[in-house]
Amino acid sequence: MAAKKKTANIAIFIILFALALLFLYPIFVVLMNSFKSKLYIATQPFAFPSLLPDGNNAATFVGFTNYINGIVKTNFMKAFGYSAFITVFSVGLIVLFTSMTAWYITRVKSRITSTLYYLFVFSMIVPFQMVMFSMSKVASMLHLDNPVGILFLYLGFGSGLSVFMFSGFVKSIPLDIEEAATIDGCNPIQIFFRIVFPILKPTAITVAILNAMWVWNDYLLPLLVIGNDYKTIPVAVQGVLTGSYGSKDMGALMAMLVISIIPIIIFYLSCQKHIIKGVVAGAVKG
């Protein structure tokens, strides 16, 4: 029995390891091509960059030239600033307001709160493409077509899943804790920030990670709302490094893709242990 279990564990490990390599392979190809000349990326996309000429083949390794060209062409530091500003403050607004909303609609039982909950859940299944044109028009009318205004758009689009996850976790918090705080003289705001929100930490971190990865990598919403006036990294990379008539600086494009995924990978690896904990905790009484 033990031998069969050990064999099954080994088989599962091999399968998971193969799947990990399969998912990491495209990232490795991008990293490898970021050090190659753009002429050889199209002709030899899966070949390692060579330092020395090999027979009839010239050296394909160009060092950090693609990274320097990409940073200069995209004005990367400015785009990085816009992306960081939008991501940090959007995620902060989503975590703060959706946690308060979930706590209210979970604790206050009424037809209005039940309707609000189901509206938030329903918003999760509405594709962005259905509302993107009307949304961009309304954003322009309300003067939300700037880095500050787009924060509220992200708050709206990210509220569905976030309220759903927070609501499931709030239902698992004993009501006696809040009643004891009320007896001690705490008002609702003090109860939330001193009692409830610290308990919500696992789910809050999970919500922050999921929304940070979405906002940081988002291309369509910034393009429609703030366009070329305030270029985020995806908009800057796509707009500057993609030329007319199909001409593309593939080397610089690959280099910028590598740089753009580094911050989100670091953020994810530093917080990944909280994801499963938060998802499971939020699903206890969903």
Q: Indicate the SS3 state at residue 145.
A: coil
Q: What value does the mean pLDDT of the chain take? A: 84
Looking at residue 61, what DSSP letter applies? B
- What pLDDT score does 162 carry? 92
Q: Please report, to the nearest 10 degrees, the dihedral formed by the alpha carbons of residues 175, 193, 209, 150 taken in order.
A: 120
- Tokens 């709206």 appear where? 156
Q: Indicate the SS3 state at residue 165.
A: helix
C-beta neighbour count of 6 within 10 angstroms: 10
Q: Which amino acid is at 256?
A: M
Residues (pLDDT < 50) of the chain are 282-286
> For residue range 130-185, what is the model confidence (pLDDT) as tens digits?
888 888 888 889 988 899 999 999 998 999 989 998 998 888 888 888 888 888 88
- What pLDDT score does 19 carry? 92
Give yes or no for a contact between 225 and 150, defined as CB atoms under 8 angstroms apart: yes
> For residue range 45-54, what is the model confidence (pLDDT) as tens digits?
787 877 766 5
> What gap in Å lies between CA 103 and CA 228, rounded to an integer?
39
Q: Does domain 66-282 have CATH number 1.20.59.20?
A: no
> For residue range 214-225, what is the model confidence (pLDDT) as tens digits?
999 898 899 888
- What pLDDT score does 283 carry? 46
Q: Give me the half-sphere count of Cα atoms (radius 13 Å) on the Cβ side of residue 50.
A: 14
User: 232 has which bridge partners?
Assistant: none
Closest CA to 151 of 218, 87, 234, 236: 87
Q: Indicate the SS3 state at residue 248.
A: strand
- What pLDDT score does 57 carry? 54
> What gap in Å lies between CA 183 and CA 84, rounded to an integer?
42
Q: Please report, to the nearest 10 degrees, the dihedral formed by the alpha carbons of residues 85, 272, 254, 45 taken in order.
A: -170
